[in-house]
Chain A
Amino acid sequence: MTVARHTWYMTVRQARNLMREPIWIALLLVQPMVWLILYGQLFKNLTRLGGFGTTSYITFLAPAIVVMNAFFGATWSGMSMINDLDHKVVERFLATPASRLSIVLSQIVRSAITAAIQALIILLVSLALGVRIHAGALGWIVIMVAGVLVNSAFAGLSQAIALLTRREATMIAVANFIGLPLLFLSTTMNARSQMPHWMREVARFNPVDWGVQAAREVALPGTSWSSVGWHLLLLLALTAVTAAWATRTFGAYQRSL
């Protein structure tokens, strides 16, 4: 109970700070818009190759861009932890009865909230661009949940790395190192049937692709709800694992003081 309450207090702090500078949410949206609008136009004839499940490339792309954006956001989420470590905010809380778990969890929750807000905006822009989500309102919810789960899973990882390295430079290196490879090793931009065989096989183990698959199932006709459920479940399990790891690294950080 204390954990939930303290996580809430800590999340409110971070969310409020974020809302003070809404410009950041907007800036973070520039990149997905470029992908959606420019990239979507550039490769709009790609669907002629077949296997996309739709003739509209942007309809194919939009749900995946939500997931991609949530993923990219998550790889940076540890920066906020490093900021709190550097400014000794974490130490101040450690000398109070504040729940230790809440210090880590609130970072992940804050990251997920940001991802959800961005997902909604991307979906609205997609709507304006003529993208229709086949499963309707429920589809919107699934796409947002997929984004939030991908974000949480990688935010846990990012927090753990932040707590292990405690250096911004390392965080940036890691974010760049995993960002593009995991993007290209997924069906975000291309149909599975158009991918080389080895890439297809690797993509099956890529959590970003799990989110993309769940989101795309509901966006296109012929939704397989079991596939949606299965992929979301996998992401949930991964989130639990990375959050647990982040918590363990927090314990290690405390012992190092």
Chain B
Amino acid sequence: MEAIVVEALRKRYGEVQALDGVSFSVREGEVFGLLGPNGAGKSTTVRCLVTLTKPDDGSASVAGRDVRRETAAVRKAIGYVPQDSGVDGFGTGRENLMLQGRVQGMGGRELRERAEELLELVGIADAADRIVRNYSGGMRRRLDIALGLVHRPRVLFLDEPTTGLDPEARVAMWEEVSRLAQAESLTILLTTHYLEEADQLADRLAIVSQGKVVVEGTPTELKGRLAGDAVQVEVENGEVGRTQEVLAGVGARPEQVLDGRTVVARVEHGGRALPGIISALEGAGVSVASVSVSRPSLDDVYLHFTGRDFGQEDRAA
């Protein structure tokens, strides 16, 4: 059973084609990641799915309901944790939670108990009656998530759940999300521009670039599509062409050149091939600045499927 189905979603803001035919689907009960650099269209996709934004074209359904025609049913079925919070900073955590429950049609003892349960679950019970403005970034994020969960939604949308958190809080948040997915038997769609986050959390993921889904699959599947390890050779004096020839000569497949000085190549077993590569380069008189070998990562997947370096693109956006 599909919890989310997205077909050819398009949305344009003025000159910018934010979504250019996004399609993917999410199965019930899985954690699905939308991965891409800033400005790729992840947040716009989520905003369409949570009924905040009307797409120009295409269709989408969440929990079996059409996001354009059955908005009321969608809003009851989903929890949305937006990128920039949306909590009322002048109220307490509990007050925020109670109001969120009330507009979701809850009330009385049921709501009071649910609020208490969630405050415990996300670990801010001690701060429940303090004004949110005085919360730390991590506490605020936990409250955001509690707000999204109060009415026991079937599908939870987490837009950049760990942006702005320090590394320690980020790892804690990952554990939190995995635990919640279990405890509340949720389908989770999360967006992230952290490759390791997608790798850690998502059962399956889609890489989004320039308003389109480039590829969809499990992290292992995607990495598996890249046969072998990546060898990166950084050379001095711009001897890139020569390096590519030498690499090809020893059985490595040159794939990309980064910054005009680093050649990326694929080999079957990086560790075993490395001594041969280095001596071949030395023999050919190429002055090598650095060589590294890495197991395929989502970085490589991104590079492979979009032809662009993830980090660079993210910074440029």
Interface assignment of A197: CB less than 8 Å from any CB of chain B: no
Interface assignment of A226: CB less than 8 Å from any CB of chain B: no
Interface assignment of A225: CB less than 8 Å from any CB of chain B: no
Number of interface residues of A (CB under 8 A): 22
Are A92 and B75 within 8 A (Cβ)? no
7 A-B pairs (CB sep. < 8 Å): A17-B88, A87-B88, A89-B87, A92-B87, A93-B103, A94-B52, A96-B103
- When each residue 102-115 of chain B gets 1 if its CB lies under 8 Å from chain A and 0 otherwise, what string results? 11110000000000
In the assembly, what is the distance between CA of A9 and CA of B72, in Å? 19
Most buried by B among A89, A93, A255: A89
Are A88 and B84 within 8 A (Cβ)? yes
Expressed in whole angstroms, the minimum distance between the Cβ of A101 and any Cβ of chain B is 13
- Which residues on the B side are within 8 Å of A88 (C-beta)? 82, 84-86
Main secondary structure of the interface of B (DSSP, over half): loop
Are B88 and A96 within 8 A (Cβ)? no
Q: Which residue of A lies closest to B72 (CB)?
A: A97
Interface assignment of A6: CB less than 8 Å from any CB of chain B: yes
Are A9 and B85 within 8 A (Cβ)? no
Interface assignment of B152: CB less than 8 Å from any CB of chain A: no
Are A9 and B84 within 8 A (Cβ)? no
In the assembly, what is the distance between CA of A92 and CA of B150, in Å? 13
In residues 244-267 of chain B, which contact A (Cβ within 8 Å)? none
In residues 67-90 of chain B, which contact A (Cβ within 8 Å)? 72, 75-76, 78, 80, 82, 84-90
A92 with B51, Cβ < 8 A, contacts A16-B95, A97-B72, A98-B103 known? no
Q: A residues engaging B (CB < 8 A)?
A: 6, 9-10, 13, 16-17, 20, 84, 87-89, 91-99, 255, 257
Are A95 and B51 within 8 A (Cβ)? yes
Expressed in whole angstroms, the minimum distance between the Cβ of A9 and any Cβ of chain B is 5
Most buried by B among A88, A92, A98: A92
Expressed in whole angstroms, the minimum distance between the Cβ of B22 and any Cβ of chain A is 17
Interface assignment of B192: CB less than 8 Å from any CB of chain A: no
Interface assignment of B182: CB less than 8 Å from any CB of chain A: no
In the assembly, what is the distance between CA of A92 and CA of B140, in Å? 14
Are A13 and B104 within 8 A (Cβ)? no
Q: What 8 pairs between A and B have smallest CB-CB spacing?
A: A92-B86, A98-B103, A88-B86, A17-B90, A95-B80, A95-B50, A97-B75, A9-B102
In the assembly, what is the distance between CA of A10 and CA of B90, in Å? 13
